[in-house]
Structure 1
Amino acid sequence: MNTKRSSRSPSPSPGPRAWLGLVVVLGPVLLVAMDSSVLFLGMPKVSEALSPTADQALWILDVYGFAVGSLLVAFGSIGDRYGRLRLLLIGAAVFGAASAGAAFSPTPELLIAFRALMGVAGATLLPSALAVLSELFTDPRTRSKAVGVFAATFAAGFAIGPVVGGQLLNNFWWGSVFLINLPVVVLFLLLAPVLLREVRATRPGRVDVPSILLSAAGLLLSVYAIKHAAADGLSATPLVAGVPGVLALWVFVRRQLRLDRPLIDFRLFRDRVFTVAAITGLLPLAAWSAVAYLGGGYLQAVLGLSVLDAALVALPGAAVLTVSCLATPALVARTGTRSALVACHFLIAAGLVLLLATGVSGGIGWYVASTVVAGVGYGISFSVVADTAIGAVPAERAGAAAAIAETSNELGNALGIALLGSLAALIFRLQGPDAAGTLHETLHLPGLTPAVIDQAKQAAVTGLHAAALVASLLHAALGAFALRHLPRSAPDRAAAPQPEPLPRLTAGADAPR
């Protein structure tokens, strides 16, 4: 490992071109993160315009995240082999075209298709963008600062997505949330060839296509089964989709254990630090995305806030999350990685519990308090995981390593909506008035009595409470595990020049054997 790390020739003083290159790279990063969350407050507007079913509404939200998460590792390897800058340019062009298609989609089916294409393009951008930073900033300490800015931008994109979406939807039609991508894409396509240079691996190896297909098919089929069961109850359809999905994932894991250069090296999960930090990349995004989505519906459909007012309510939590992400490197330098990992999970758990005080007749104050307290934990988790993305692997495999770090985030984002969102949908189906599949659909039915409206709103609030409680318990359990089992001496990356346990988190397929 030390030999590989030394292959990077340190340059302690990057010039203006490197910092300008960082600014250019951050544009696509911000877009990819924002598009994971920009519809959280916008779904009521989309529902009014396109009338998707409950199942289609969930797919509109999270097919993007599943496409990104399923293909990040693959495109990290492809970028290493064929050129990261080339992949960045192609991905940005496709992302822009798919954004335009999504903005003008006349049906839910087409919107889902274009969102999926946006996810495929987004999967090309993140690993290559983070890998390019390792070439722009070869000095470890300067690179750590650059990666910290990258992490803060990524976290800020997730956090401000609902706020930006709310502002746009207050003044324009729902497709505007996708059209804002186009100016950034055009600017990137003009400046990237000038400021960034092409980089590819010297010994890239081959891309394992069966692994890519197995992981993507397994995730999509499994989640489809869960969604269908939550929305419509148990039937033959979830079994027909779920069994092959689980089987595909099982075959994928078995294949990774046999390959010399797997997409994901599952043997790394034998290390406790690796396991806790890998889950820390996934679980907070799952909780945040689910609560942001369900909370947006709560603020608008239950409490009756406008899109703009709901966006303003989300602003304090977004601001705290972003500041926390920026401040985390200094916190880790003082307290160590272990303390940061433990603190982030307990803070998120505490913040989520506060949501249980919200109700049909009020709860905005509790909602804001929840996002602020949990936002501190979210920011810590995003920064700790992202800051370990590059330093433990050789430069020629930085794309694949970066992809593994971002995969946990994107899968967490998609799984949160799929699993916790499906839990809320199931509770609404069981406790609601059985008039329609979602609260939005129910409230737009003619001739509803006040009692039926109150029952529907109460069922939606109960679904939000259930999702928040489950996520809180998972975070509390992981925090307790980290407190008990992580070594107190786990060093942080900024303070130690030699390799340490935590950065192996993102080494994935590139970990030495």
Structure 2
Amino acid sequence: MSTIQTESARAGVREWIALAVLMLPVLLVAIDNTVLAFALPEIAGALEPTGAQQLWMVDVYPLVLAGLLVPMGVLGDRFGRRRLLLVGAVGFGIVSVLCAFAPTAEALIAGRALQGLFGATLMPSTMSLLRSLFRDRVQRRLAIAIWATGFSVGSAVGPAVGGLLLAHLWWGSIFLLAVPLLVPMLVLVPLLVRESRDEAAPRVDVLGIVLAMLTLAPLAAAIKHVATDGVDVVAVGLGALAAVSGALFVRRMDRAEQPMLDLGLLRDRAFSTAVLVNLLSVVALVGFLFFLTQHLQLVVGLSTLDAALVLLPGTAAMVLAGLGSVRLVRRIRQELVIVGALVASTIAYVTVAVLGADITVAAIAAAFALLGAGIGAAETLSNDLVLASAPVDKAGAAAGVSETAYELGAVLGTAVLGGILTAAYQAALVVPQGVSAADAARAGETLSGGIHVADAIGGSTGAALAEAARHAFDAGVVWTAGVGALLIASAAVLTWVRLVRGRGIAPTGTIPRQDAR
């Protein structure tokens, strides 16, 4: 049964099966944002990356993804969304296999960058194809809500999936997860989904893409460089390049008749605030996972499976809070619920900062559950506000901004909070006597490097180095959690001032995360 080309046509069984198939790449891209968290200690032991390289392993994927989401959406509009989806799926699968067997840290970083490139073809394509599959507005809204839930679920279960795989297999297995998810999609999408394109779509702005990447990549590199080497000529140069490129990008988008990214939307108070809440919520989640997973495995000494189980309550809380917020806003103003969700996330960070090295596994599970509930509600509602505050004819552009904010948040979560943690660890580490200069340098890069060196040295000296590394890491966690609490609290205050007191939006609304392009 083919989709009838009328707005009132209702989708049948075939279209709903197609939705299930299109959820596979959505889950994959979302899982890949967070699945690396539990594998970092094993990867660090096997590939021995520097502190900066370890941050890049996590960050380069969402960085490239964020820079290319909107351009790839335009490319799919012009040349065929189904075609782009299939090409991207094949590329993502091949690169994922290469990542699984990467021999060096540099090779893994390059592979993760290519994953980001192909991943950028998957997200906009699935979203756009929903419009051609579901022409009835009520059904389309439900389909988009399911799509959004799948994305949130994928991000939430990523660490748990990684923990389960690593309990039985080697670190590369987390990348091979792409194969069983993408093969069914490659077979079924040509059978269930018709090709669609937009003949009126703007041309691909190659210079705009280059300027966007020259803004994001140097910015992330500057943050990481400051964390590991301090402020120097390199850091200032990278920051200057990012600033100049960003200014040129904004100027180009403002002057274009059909801009790749409609920055005019950000001038709306409700829209820009919702995007910022979206971004900072992801910063909070990714940053929390970055230090939490290392603490559970390398400080507490839990296995990957046991550490994954500690996060399950938080994963469930994230999903339930996201779905429950839909009902809650029927009785309470939407912006008030967002403020409450951000406060909950702030309390989670404050708990970690206050307890510090004395925090128990139970307290960690409770803090992550509170954080998960806050992020689940804030993410769902902020994305709804992105669409609710944008004009109907700008829904596609609004979706692009929302997706970009999500991925940029993933970058900054590791770059900012991970960078602070790395810098604090290096500053706090006191290497015991008897450790060579070469071993001290390796131990000073990351906690996993310190534990690896300590195990190799052995004896009382090795035990003293391991204890010093754990102590330095926990000291860094306190500083990182404090900064994280300030970031989320700032978002709560900003939401209160601009949306609650300013009353810039309607009090209630239904919750599709995004609409189709």
Question: Which TM-score applies when normalising by structure 2?
Answer: 0.90
> In 1, Cα distance between the equivalents of 2:356 and 2:479?
13
Which amino acid is 1:439 matched to?
A: L
Are 1:202 and 2:217 counterparts? no
User: 1:14 aligns to what?
Assistant: 11
How many pairs does the alignment contain?
494
* Between 22-31 and 338-347, the greater mean CA deviation after superposition: 338-347
Are 1:482 and 2:495 counterparts? yes
- Could you list the per-position Cα deviations for residues 151-192 of structure 1 after superposition, in whole angstroms to 9, with x for gaps in the alignment? 111111111111110110110011110111101111101001
- Could you list the per-position Cα deviations for residues 273-326 of structure 1 after superposition, in whole angstroms to 9, with x for gaps in the alignment? 011101122111011001101111111111111111111111110111112222
User: 2:46 aligns to what?
Assistant: 49
Gap change, CA 1:393 and 1:146, over 3 Å in 2: farther
* Between 179-188 and 444-453, the greater mean CA deviation after superposition: 444-453
User: 2:434 aligns to what?
Assistant: none
What is the aligned counterpart of 2:466 among 450, 453, 468? 453
* Between 139-148 and 35-44, the greater mean CA deviation after superposition: 139-148
Which amino acid is 1:48 matched to?
A: G
SS of equivalent residue, structure 1 residue 61: helix
Shift of 1:208: 1.3
Which amino acid is 1:37 matched to?
A: T
User: 2:221 aligns to what?
Assistant: 224
* Between 230-239 and 36-45, the greater mean CA deviation after superposition: 230-239
User: 1:5 aligns to what?
Assistant: none
Are 1:72 and 2:69 counterparts? yes
SS of equivalent residue, structure 2 residue 329: helix
> In 2, Cα distance between the equivalents of 1:141 and 1:388?
18
Q: Do the aligned partners of 1:103 and 1:178 also contact (CA within 8 Å) in 2?
A: yes
User: 1:498 aligns to what?
Assistant: none
Q: Do the aligned partners of 2:343 and 2:489 also contact (CA within 8 Å) in 1?
A: yes
What is the aligned counterpart of 1:312 among 309, 312, 337? 309
User: 1:463 aligns to what?
Assistant: 476
> In 1, Cα distance between the equivalents of 2:196 and 2:39?
38
Are 1:444 and 2:430 counterparts? no
The answer for unaligned runs of 5 or more in structure 1 is 1-7, 496-501
- Could you list the per-position Cα deviations for residues 38-89 of structure 1 after superposition, in whole angstroms to 9, with x for gaps in the alignment? 1101101111111111111111111001011111011111111111111111
* Between 78-87 and 474-483, the greater mean CA deviation after superposition: 474-483
User: 1:102 aligns to what?
Assistant: 99
Shift of 1:387: 4.2
- Could you list the per-position Cα deviations for residues 183-234 of structure 1 after superposition, in whole angstroms to 9, with x for gaps in the alignment? 1111101001111111111311212111110111221112112212211233
> In 1, Cα distance between the equivalents of 2:133 and 2:321?
25
Q: Do the aligned partners of 2:338 and 2:382 also contact (CA within 8 Å) in 1?
A: no
> In 1, Cα distance between the equivalents of 2:504 and 2:226?
45
Which amino acid is 1:480 matched to?
A: V
Q: Do the aligned partners of 1:354 and 1:369 also contact (CA within 8 Å) in 2?
A: no
What is the aligned counterpart of 1:251 among 237, 248, 252? 248
> In 1, Cα distance between the equivalents of 2:148 and 2:330?
16
Q: Percent identity?
A: 38
- Could you list the per-position Cα deviations for residues 449-471 of structure 1 after superposition, in whole angstroms to 9, with x for gaps in the alignment? 65543332222112222222222
User: 1:405 aligns to what?
Assistant: 402
What is the aligned counterpart of 1:374 among 360, 371, 375? 371
User: 2:318 aligns to what?
Assistant: 321
SS of equivalent residue, structure 2 residue 302: coil
SS of equivalent residue, structure 1 residue 14: coil
Which amino acid is 1:441 matched to?
A: G
- Could you list the per-position Cα deviations for residues 352-380 of structure 1 after superposition, in whole angstroms to 9, with x for gaps in the alignment? 21212444354212211111111111111
Q: Do the aligned partners of 1:357 and 1:366 also contact (CA within 8 Å) in 2?
A: no
Shift of 1:332: 2.9
Which amino acid is 2:137 matched to?
A: P
User: 2:130 aligns to what?
Assistant: 133
Q: Do the aligned partners of 1:127 and 1:400 also contact (CA within 8 Å) in 2?
A: no
Q: Do the aligned partners of 1:316 and 1:368 also contact (CA within 8 Å) in 2?
A: yes
What is the aligned counterpart of 2:171 among 165, 170, 174? 174
* Between 78-87 and 240-249, the greater mean CA deviation after superposition: 240-249
> In 1, Cα distance between the equivalents of 2:269 and 2:87?
38
User: 1:265 aligns to what?
Assistant: 262
> In 1, Cα distance between the equivalents of 2:120 and 2:136?
27
SS of equivalent residue, structure 1 residue 205: coil
Are 1:152 and 2:149 counterparts? yes
> In 2, Cα distance between the equivalents of 1:393 and 1:268?
9
User: 2:435 aligns to what?
Assistant: none
> In 2, Cα distance between the equivalents of 1:106 and 1:454?
30
Which amino acid is 1:360 matched to?
A: A
SS of equivalent residue, structure 1 residue 171: coil
Question: Which TM-score applies when normalising by structure 1?
Answer: 0.90
User: 2:437 aligns to what?
Assistant: none
Are 1:120 and 2:117 counterparts? yes
The answer for unaligned runs of 5 or more in structure 2 is 432-439
Gap change, CA 1:399 and 1:114, over 3 Å in 2: farther
User: 2:289 aligns to what?
Assistant: 292
> In 1, Cα distance between the equivalents of 2:420 and 2:190?
46
Gap change, CA 1:64 and 1:234, over 3 Å in 2: same
Shift of 1:143: 2.0
Q: Do the aligned partners of 2:71 and 2:209 also contact (CA within 8 Å) in 1?
A: yes
> In 2, Cα distance between the equivalents of 1:253 and 1:208?
13
Which amino acid is 1:325 matched to?
A: G
What is the aligned counterpart of 1:192 among 167, 176, 189? 189
Shift of 1:24: 0.6
Are 1:111 and 2:119 counterparts? no
Which amino acid is 2:135 matched to?
A: T
Gap change, CA 1:389 and 1:144, over 3 Å in 2: farther
